[in-house]
């Protein structure tokens, strides 16, 4: 399962790494690729993780703003 999170505020590779680290800490997340250009983080999941859990991981553990989740 893949979800795409819209993330505002990433400016560099370091920013992307912070978002990736926050999401990788969530149970069920198997991979993350943040992209500052598209303002998204692509999240690979081994099980269904509620959207609000993913948004909270970014919003509470980084200085960036996760706004929405799309399902692929």
Neighbouring C-beta atoms of residue 28, cutoff 10 Å:
15
Burial class (CB in 10 A: 0-12, 13-18, 19+), 39: middle
What does the pLDDT read at residue 72? Answer: 83
Residue ranges per structural domain of the chain: 2-71
Q: How does pLDDT run across 5-51, given as a tens digit for each residue?
A: 999 999 999 999 999 999 999 999 999 999 999 999 999 999 999 99
What does the pLDDT read at residue 11? Answer: 97
Domain at 2-71: CATH code: 3.30.70.100
């Amino acid at each position: 399962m893949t979800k795409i999170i819209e993330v505002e505020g990433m400016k560099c590779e370091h920013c992307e790494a912070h978002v990736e680290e926050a999401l990788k800490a969530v149970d069920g997340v198997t991979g993350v690729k943040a992209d500052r250009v598209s303002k998204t983080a692509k999240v690979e999941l081994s099980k269904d993780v509620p959207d609000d859990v993913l948004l909270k991981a970014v919003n509470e553990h980084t200085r960036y703003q996760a706004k929405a989740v799309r399902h692929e």
